[in-house]
């Protein structure tokens, strides 16, 4: 039946149908927007704003902003290669004197120390000297106090620190730093972070793989058993899941100790005690235990929606048991696997307490260092950059994952 | 109908979320927040200072625990909401915190006679409270005969095999490594100020690295000794002293004990500075200070208080002459200047 395209359709009150439809669509969209607005504002306030603040902290020279103005001006024309002239020394002395009165000189010394090891004590020493001096010349006083003041690298660091923004923290989180001619690698005995990131992603990946291998069969069992038995088995999965993370980690600490029950059992069977606590083995074991329900449950929920008739049909058409499973059942569980693995991987990246309690010094993940810079060194900039770098790498990985697996288009049953 | 329900639910969710935001409580002038290290040490402060103070002045003391780091204090200061009134800090943080403007400069007229405090314990921003020592201890049940007696035994895994516990900081460990490697105690900080000296210390630590169990909290060493996780461990002497009092068969080796102090400080920006001064004055009174040694084996830092300590307890204190024979006094200025660098190097070494 051909529809006349020439005359536009009209509704009862004479308005064109298209217009009516568009209006209804718009009002539906506005209502939907109004409903999610409170939640959206909540996410902005509690998620995006802190992230923005973290990004800001990772590039701002918090300890020196506004406190090295004169030095900054004096070094503007400096060539970066030789020792600066008296004007620069005088400017630095003036800035340090002013800072000392406001009790800010210590923070300046600390900031320079981040990039130039040992500078803190030299700064403190010279600050004491110049505050007792009424006027210059200052260059000789500095140079006779310590030979470090003749090092152009120190002055490059001071110049960078006197700017409001710095790339120091982001560079250092990938073991780089500002050298004489551009960016260079940090000396090997100070290069820690690239290893730490590699270790973090490796452990997270390992835990994801292990939870998948262990969780898939259990999910299959849960999905295919009769309801009474399945519910009972489900309780065995859920009860540990509902127990606090810290309680479970501490339980592993007790189990894995060299005088603990597992080692007592090992002594009985193979007459030897194994070192399990404060090792990579212990860390991965505890993390796998904690993450297992996170991988298992999405897979289970997808498996529940697969009609058992599919596999039966495949068998009746002549497929062997493994073939039927692999070609008919497994592909339908892929969305669940993808979701479960992604969840476990992302969660594992952020683990702090489990490696801290059960792992050794070589098992600490990025979060430990973020906490270390926040608490011990009180260098919020470095902590922010480390966290930000983790976020960026994770987002890049997620984008690659999405391209491979197409998460956005998946349906989870 | 469904729309209204969804609207109400999301509105409620937002309201609940915002209500859990921490609203700074109005500080009552009759309340004092004191932050210390927890465990047996805080218990001794409670008995010696907080309870008598609360009884005498009627001011409520709220105790808080921390791990010795001032990161949280800096965050509070930046936010303009410092809720801590008095803190018990170690020497490194007493100096560093002062330099970084985190602590108030003390007016000793409100505390007591500055000259009566032991040399090195009346600082710009901090007043000494106890003298403690880092020693190493062993379980006497494990070493019934031929127990360890000198510092070298801590580093001798051939004669005394097994795991050792050490504090997870370079503080204290580097000095011991150098002394065990043959550097005379008076020259330790001189050697440690040179890059070769630092290398030497780390090389010595390398010889026992795989046998080290790292502890971070003061309560851990007695635990590690008790459950057999380590055969000997460095510790703060008071914690081991209290474990011995509770019946554990531990023994302390005082050889090359590392002598140090803890200080009372007032954070900059605290809302109750008068209350803080009043408490510190009370705690620095020799009569009160001498009480703390009854509850934990730490010595007072006030000359008059030392005279008042019960002579029966004296042998367990770091200041007892027999124990002080080879004592190394921690160089506070050295650690204030070099703590960060050496900690960075230490963490890199740990991670290898």
CB A257 to CB B227 under 8 A?
Answer: yes
Other beta carbons within 10 angstroms of residue A105's beta carbon come to 25
Q: Answer yes or no: is pLDDT of A100 > 80.
A: yes
Q: Taking CA atoms, what residue in A is nearest to B95? A: A106
| Residue pLDDT, tens place only, A189-242 | 778 899 999 999 999 999 999 999 999 999 999 999 999 999 999 999 999 999
As given in the structure block, the two tokens for residue B169 are 């900081």
The pTM (predicted TM-score) of the whole model is 0.79
Considering only CB atoms, B69 lies closest to which of A34, A376, A380, namely A376
What is the pLDDT, as a whole number, of residue A27?
Answer: 94
Q: Answer yes or no: is pLDDT of A7 > 80.
A: no
As given in the structure block, the two tokens for residue B93 are 């943080």
Checking B193-199 for CB contacts under 8 A at 24+ apart, the result is B193/B334, B193/B338, B198/B174, B198/B342, B198/B345
CB B98 to CB A196 under 8 A?
Answer: no
CB B351 to CB A361 under 8 A?
Answer: yes
Considering only CB atoms, A378 lies closest to which of B10, B11, B74, namely B74
What is the pLDDT, as a whole number, of residue A3?
Answer: 56
Are A133 and A141 within 8 A, CB to CB? yes
| Residue pLDDT, tens place only, B211-248 | 999 998 888 999 999 988 899 999 999 899 989 988 99
DSSP 3-state assignment of A180?
Answer: coil
Considering only CB atoms, B213 lies closest to which of A34, A46, A278, namely A278
Are A285 and A236 within 8 A, CB to CB? no
Where are the domains positioned within chain B? 31-131+261-316, 133-260+325-351
What is the pLDDT, as a whole number, of residue B13?
Answer: 58
Distance of CA B52 to the CA centre of its chain: 23
- Helix (H) or strand (E) holding A256, with range, is helix A245-256
Q: Answer yes or no: is pLDDT of B9 > 70.
A: no
Contacts of A315 (CB under 8 A, 6+ apart): A321, A324
CA torsion A223-A228-A232-A235 (nearest 10°) is 70
Q: Taking CA atoms, what residue in B is nearest to A117? A: B341
Distance from C-alpha of B52 to C-alpha of A226, rounded to nearest angstrom: 66
Using an 8 Å CB-CB cutoff, list residues of chain A that contact chain B.
Answer: 31, 34-36, 38-39, 41-42, 46, 102-107, 109-110, 113, 117-118, 120-121, 124, 189-192, 195-196, 257-259, 277-278, 361-362, 364, 372, 374-378, 380
| Residue pLDDT, tens place only, A27-48 | 999 999 999 999 999 998 999 9
Return the ∠ at Cα A386 (arms to A195 and A276), rounded to 5°.
45
As given in the structure block, the two tokens for residue B48 are 């010696």
| Residue pLDDT, tens place only, A270-317 | 988 888 888 999 999 999 999 999 999 999 999 999 999 999 999 999
What are residue A116's DSSP bridge partners?
A: none
CB B71 to CB A378 under 8 A?
Answer: yes
CB A190 to CB B3 under 8 A?
Answer: no
Q: What is the mean pLDDT of chain B?
A: 87
Distance from C-alpha of A307 to C-alpha of A317, rounded to nearest angstrom: 16
The CA distances from residue A217 to A207, A286, A295, A342, in Å, are 16, 20, 12, 18
In degrees and rounded to multiples of 5, residue B246 shows phi and psi of: -80, 0
* Homologous superfamily of the B31-131+261-316 domain (CATH): Periplasmic binding protein-like II (3.40.190.10)
Are B135 and B248 within 8 A, CB to CB? no
> Stretch B163-180: mean pLDDT, rounded?
92
List strand residue ranges (DSSP E) for B173-243, in order.
Answer: 212-215, 232-236
What is the pLDDT, as a whole number, of residue A388?
Answer: 95
What is the pLDDT, as a whole number, of residue B129?
Answer: 93
CA torsion A115-A121-A122-A128 (nearest 10°) is 130
The CA distances from residue A130 to A99, A104, A147, B75, B158, in Å, are 12, 15, 16, 31, 54
CATH topology of domain B133-260+325-351: D-Maltodextrin-Binding Protein; domain 2 (3.40.190)
Closest residue by Cα to residue B255 from B97, B133, B91: B133
Query: Residue B25 burial (CB < 10 Å; 0-12/13-18/19+)?
Result: exposed
| Residue pLDDT, tens place only, B188-206 | 999 998 889 999 999 999 9
Distance from C-alpha of A381 to C-alpha of A60, rounded to nearest angstrom: 7
Mutate which: A28, A98, A115, A361, vs B, most B CBs within 10 A: A361
What is the pLDDT, as a whole number, of residue A17?
Answer: 87
> Stretch A313-333: mean pLDDT, rounded?
93
Are B349 and B212 within 8 A, CB to CB? no
What is the pLDDT, as a whole number, of residue A280?
Answer: 94
Convert A241-280 to b/e letters by CB count within 10 Å (16 or more is b). Answer: eeeeeeebbeebbebbbbebebbeeeeeeeeeeeebbbbb
Instruction: Give the distance from residue B350's alpha carbon to the nearest chain A alpha carbon, in angstroms.
Output: 6
Q: Answer yes or no: is pLDDT of B16 > 70.
A: no
Q: What is the mean pLDDT of chain A?
A: 89
Residues of A in contact with B10 (CB under 8 A): 35-36, 38-39
Q: Residue B24's pLDDT band (boundaries 50, 70, 90)?
A: very low
Distance from C-alpha of A125 to C-alpha of A148, rounded to nearest angstrom: 12
Residues of A in contact with B13 (CB under 8 A): 38-39, 42
Instruction: Give the distance from residue B320's alpha carbon to the nearest chain A alpha carbon, in angstroms.
Output: 33
| Interface contacts (A, B; CB < 8 Å) | 92
In degrees and rounded to multiples of 5, residue A199 shows phi and psi of: -65, -40
Where is pLDDT greater, at B344 or A301?
A301
DSSP 3-state assignment of A361?
Answer: helix
**Domain B31-131+261-316 shares a fold with domain B133-260+325-351:** yes
In degrees and rounded to multiples of 5, residue A411 shows phi and psi of: -110, 130
Closest residue by Cα to residue B223 from B209, B236, B247, B240: B240
| Residue pLDDT, tens place only, A102-159 | 888 888 998 998 888 778 888 888 888 888 888 878 888 888 888 889 898 899 899 9
What is the pLDDT, as a whole number, of residue B179?
Answer: 93
| Out of A340-349, A355-364, B342-351, least confident range | B342-351
Residues of A in contact with B343 (CB under 8 A): 376-377
């Amino acid at each position: 039946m051909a529809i006349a395209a020439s005359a536009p359709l009209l509704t009862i009150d004479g308005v064109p149908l298209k217009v009516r439809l568009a209006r209804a669509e718009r009002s539906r969209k506005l209502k939907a927007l109004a409903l999610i607005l409170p939640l959206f504002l909540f996410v902005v306030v509690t998620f995006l704003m802190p992230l923005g603040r973290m990004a800001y902290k990772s590039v701002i020279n918090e300890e020196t902003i506004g406190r090295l103005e004169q030095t900054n001006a004096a070094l503007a024309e400096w060539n970066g290669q030789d020792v600066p002239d008296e004007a620069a020394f005088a400017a630095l002395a003036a800035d340090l004197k002013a800072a000392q009165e406001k009790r800010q000189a210590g923070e300046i010394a600390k900031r320079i120390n981040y990039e130039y090891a040992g500078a803190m004590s030299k700064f403190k020493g010279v600050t004491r000297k110049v505050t007792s001096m009424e006027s210059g010349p200052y260059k000789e006083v500095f140079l006779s106090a310590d030979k470090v003041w003749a090092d152009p690298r120190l002055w490059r660091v001071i110049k960078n620190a006197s700017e409001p923004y710095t790339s120091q923290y982001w560079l250092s989180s990938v073991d780089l730093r500002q050298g004489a001619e551009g960016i260079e690698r940090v000396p090997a005995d100070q290069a820690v972070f690239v290893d730490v990131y590699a270790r973090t992603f490796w452990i997270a990946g390992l835990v994801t793989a292990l939870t998948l291998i262990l969780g898939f069969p259990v999910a299959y069992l849960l999905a295919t058993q009769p309801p009474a038995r399945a519910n009972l088995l489900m309780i065995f999965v859920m009860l540990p899941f509902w127990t606090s993370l810290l309680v479970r980690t501490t339980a592993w600490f007790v189990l894995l100790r060299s005088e603990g029950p597992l080692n007592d059992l090992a002594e009985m069977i193979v007459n030897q005690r194994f070192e399990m606590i404060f090792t990579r083995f212990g860390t991965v074991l505890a993390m796998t235990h904690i993450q297992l329900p996170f991988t298992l449950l999405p897979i289970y929920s997808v498996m529940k929606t697969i009609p058992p008739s599919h596999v039966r049909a495949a068998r009746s058409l002549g497929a062997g048991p493994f073939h039927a499973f692999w070609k008919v059942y497994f592909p339908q569980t892929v969305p669940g696997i993808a979701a479960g693995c992604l969840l476990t991987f992302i969660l594992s990246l952020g683990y702090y307490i489990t490696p801290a309690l059960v792992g050794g010094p070589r098992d600490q993940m990025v979060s430990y260092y973020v906490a270390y810079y926040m608490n011990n060194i009180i260098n919020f900039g470095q902590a922010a950059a480390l966290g930000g770098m983790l976020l960026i790498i994770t987002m890049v990985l997620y984008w690659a994952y999405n391209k491979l697996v197409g998460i956005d288009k998946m349906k989870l049953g | 109908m469904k729309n209204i329900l969804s609207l109400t639910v999301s509105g409620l969710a937002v309201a609940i979320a915002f209500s859990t935001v921490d609203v700074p409580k109005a500080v009552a002038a009759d309340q004092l927040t004191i932050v210390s290290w927890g465990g047996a040490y805080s218990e001794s402060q409670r008995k010696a200072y907080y309870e008598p103070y609360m009884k005498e002045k009627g001011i409520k003391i709220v105790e808080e625990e921390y791990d010795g780091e001032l990161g949280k204090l800096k965050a509070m200061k930046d936010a303009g909401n410092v809720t801590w009134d008095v803190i018990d800090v170690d020497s490194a943080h007493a100096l560093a915190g002062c330099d970084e403007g985190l602590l108030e400069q003390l007016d000793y007229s409100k505390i007591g006679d500055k000259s009566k405090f032991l040399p090195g314990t009346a600082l710009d921003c901090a007043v000494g409270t106890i003298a403690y020592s880092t020693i190493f201890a062993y379980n006497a049940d494990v070493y019934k005969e031929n127990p360890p007696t000198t510092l070298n035994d801590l580093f001798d895994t051939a004669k005394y095999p097994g795991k050792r516990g050490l504090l997870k900081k370079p503080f204290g460990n580097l000095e011991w490594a150098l002394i065990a490697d043959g550097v005379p105690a008076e020259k330790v900080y001189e050697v440690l100020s040179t890059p070769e000296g630092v290398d030497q210390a780390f090389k010595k630590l390398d010889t026992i690295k795989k046998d080290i169990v790292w502890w971070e909290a003061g309560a851990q060493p007695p635990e590690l000794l008790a459950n057999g996780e380590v055969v000997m461990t460095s510790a703060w002497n008071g914690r081991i002293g209290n474990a011995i009092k509770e019946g554990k068969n531990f023994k302390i080796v005082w050889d090359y004990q590392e002598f140090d102090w803890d200080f009372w400080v007032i954070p900059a920006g605290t809302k109750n500075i008068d209350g803080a001064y009043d408490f510190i004055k009370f705690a620095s009174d020799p009569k009160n200070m001498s009480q703390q040694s009854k509850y934990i084996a730490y010595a007072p830092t006030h000359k008059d208080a030392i005279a008042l300590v019960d002579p029966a307890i004296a042998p367990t204190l770091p200041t007892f002459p027999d124990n002080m024979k080879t004592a190394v006094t921690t160089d506070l200025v050295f650690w204030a200047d070099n703590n960060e660098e050496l900690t960075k190097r230490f963490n890199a070494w740990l991670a290898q």
